[in-house]
Amino acid sequence: MRRAFLADEIFTGNETLKGPVLFIENNIVSGILQPASLPSDITVENFPDCFIAPAFIDLQLYGGNGKLFSHSLNTESLDATRAYCMTGGCSRFMITMATNSMENFLKGIETVGEYLSSGKKGLLGLHLEGPWINPVKKGAHIEAFIKKPPRKDVELLLEKGRGIVKMITLAPEQCDDGIIHLIMDHGILVSAGHSNATYQQASHAFQIGVPAATHLFNAMSPLQGREPGMVGAIYDDTNVMSSIICDGVHVDYASVRISKKMMGERLFFITDAVTSISEGYYKHVYKGDRYTLPDGTLSGSCMTMMSTLKNSVEKAGISLEESLKMCSVHPAGLLKDPFLGKIQKGQTVDFNIINKKTLELVYSSFH
């Protein structure tokens, strides 16, 4: 099957091109061509006042459309989350489980493994956020499940989660170097978060190879004059990337903009999205522009990646091209996946068409 898409611009992930046509054959990008170069039998699908950009990637969300994965540990929950992601132009997501019982973690691994082996699309794997975090920076996490990592627990999760667990958020000051190396040696992306680390402790973790941090500013030691904390260590280490939540609630938009100036291509967006639920370990209450626990503790966002992009441009003042990169190119770079976050010849079709004026999603290739 051959199709061609014309918009005002195409952002490839590397550059913005004006006027060419995106030519697709058998779900593969055949080329980015001038209209006159297209085969004569192709009808061009025209999207005026729009641009084409790579589909978005969300490395941290917990569920969607009324299904919180850590409570509804089934593939239907993952289907609901994927559907939620797609409404916001996100074609790839990392389902996340916050600090939980070992029983639930193992069930989550089993369910994600079942989903991945079924051939369903969209799911990158499982992100375990905890339980090896600092209770001082627990945020909305359940303190009863927080602990320093016994080696036998780590080895069990690594064994059961082989090829399934792709990312683990931990507090480096709660884990010895051997544990961190063990996790990284299994090819898992370690991200520092929910941490009260000093600048020295955080810097040490980054120096031994921890490549990323989880939701900058939230649940981590702050940057202060006498103690730069984890935020200072993230700013200071030019090899470290970090996610950030651009909803104006978790982080002020000025802090997003300042961090972008400090970190450049090292900063990327996540939604940290949850969904309404009144039972189970994690109860989330919708409050209009956020979710909280029943006691009022901030617990997650109500964002999609599309609304994140809009906030970045209109409220944080980050350029459209850079905002697009933070939704796609940069998380793909952290994953070291050359097949995501770009539009280029030979690549599987994975793109959005977005209205230039309203920054609203018009079409997605992966629906």
Q: Which residues are catalytic?
A: 272
Q: Vertex 292, ends 287 and 293: CA angle to 5°? A: 135
What residue type is 135 in one-letter code?
A: P
How do 44-54 and 28-33 pair as beta strands?
Answer: unpaired
Rg value, the chain, Cα: 20
Q: Which residues pair with 364 in a beta bridge?
A: 352
Check if the beta carbon of residue 217 is closer than 8 Å to that of residue 245: no
Q: Could you tell me the two tokens for 77?
A: 């929950």
What crossing angle do the helices spanning 151-160 and 177-185 adopt, rounded to 10°? Answer: 10
CA distances from 276 to 74, 114, 154, 206, 304 (A): 17, 25, 31, 35, 15
Q: Could you tell me the two tokens for 38?
A: 């297209």
In this structure, what are the phi and psi dihedrals at residue 245, rounded to the nearest 5 degrees? -105, 120
- How crowded is residue 224: how many other Cβ atoms within 10 Å of its Cβ? 11
- Rounded CA separation 115/117 (Å): 6
